Amino acid sequence: MANNLSAIGGVELSSVAKGLETADAMLKTSDVRMLVSRSVCPGKYVILVSGDVGAVNAAVDAGSSKAAHALVDQFVIPNIHPQVFPAIEGTGPAGELESLGVIESFSVSALIEAADAAVKAADVRLIEIRLAMALGGKAFVTLTGSVAAAETAVGAGAAVVARRGLLVEKVVIPQPRKELLDELI
């Protein structure tokens, strides 16, 4: 299994059956770690892998090829920010909320790219990257930091999603009430 988790890649499909076949092809192609392989609303399938850049590229290429007509989206992010992995797993540290930034996307792939861009753009902490479960296929990332940092980060991340025409909404809430954090986790 890959020890150097410097890249993340993903394939989104419109078919659960094709998704399982694609996940198998990705794992057989290169030495990657499976982060997510599951059905998501509304009947899509998402596969996320991590590893070194070459292995992730090879896995995503193989997955995209195997997905064929069922391919919805794909991505590879080299030099992924280390906060992205715990945020996907829902284990990112929340702590005190100075502000609450949220980027919402119609695509899991675009959202992960947005989260990486956001955390690289400003001094913020990713709280969670929620991937399409009970969201009608959408995804969102939550983050915190100073209001100025959150605005910079949300702007950078939202721009990534907007360029692809997949932005649902973006907000920054200064000094959010504690009850909001309780609802998030």
Q: What is the pTM of this model?
A: 0.85
**What CATH number should be reported for the domain holding residue 62?**
3.30.70.1710
Alpha helices (H) in the chain, listed in sequence order? 16-29, 53-67, 84-88, 108-121, 147-163, 178-184
Report the domain count for the chain.
Answer: 2
Query: pLDDT of 110-137, one tens digit each?
Result: 999 999 999 999 999 999 888 866 667 7
Same domain, 62 and 132: no
Domain check: are 65 and 36 in the same one?
Answer: yes
Residue numbers of the domain that contains 28 = 7-78
Cα(101)–Cα(119) distance, integer angstroms? 11
Residues 90 and 170 in one domain: yes
Per-residue pLDDT tens digits for 141-176: 999 999 999 999 999 999 999 999 999 999 999 998
Closest-CA residue to 123 (of 87, 93, 151): 151
What is the per-residue pLDDT across 51-66, written as a single tens digit (0 to 9) for each? 999 999 999 999 999 9
Q: Do 70 and 124 belong to one domain?
A: no
Determine, yes or no, domain membership for 2. Answer: no
